[in-house]
Amino acid sequence: MNTETNVCCNQETRSMPAGRVRQGRTYVPGVDIVENERELLLMADIPGVKAGNLAVSYERGVLTIRGAVAPRQDAEKTQFVIREYGVGDYCRTFQIGEAIDATKIEAELRDGVLTLHLPKHEEVLPRKIAIRTN
């Protein structure tokens, strides 16, 4: 997996046209990527995103994560004393290598963390070689 990424809402990728989920800020979620023998695990921080406002797609080698956070208050009806919490969309793309079996990608969302399971193709998994003896 190529770890070079771009913000999908500000730059255009070859497989997906650029486009905002809505007007306003767009955040790049922080991610951790962990590799084990059978898969890559991608964990993205997307606080405030509910499953209904989250989209994960894969097309032509590009994995895209998009999520929207609803404002907590109506800005026109709320008199803020301090306003530091930024509300906006999350968007990030990743170039996926051929070693990943895209048909078996799974996603789960828990406590503001999106976990993507990116299983490797069986052909690239390590295998034990049987040793014959006389």
Tens digits of per-residue pLDDT, 26-73? 899 999 999 998 999 999 999 999 999 999 999 888 999 999 988 777
95 φψ region: left (φ > 0), alpha (ψ -120 to 50), beta (else): beta
* Cα distances (Å, whole numbers) of residue 28 to 5, 16, 66: 10, 17, 10
Question: What are the chain's domains?
Answer: 2-124 (2.60.40.790)
Q: Pairing between strand 88-95 and 25-27?
A: parallel
Q: Is the pTM of this model over 0.75?
A: no
pLDDT at 22: 56
29 φψ region: left (φ > 0), alpha (ψ -120 to 50), beta (else): beta
Give the containing element (helix H, strand E) for 117: strand 113-119
pLDDT at 70: 82
* pLDDT of residue 87 exceeding 90: no
pLDDT interval class at 23 (50, 70, 90): low
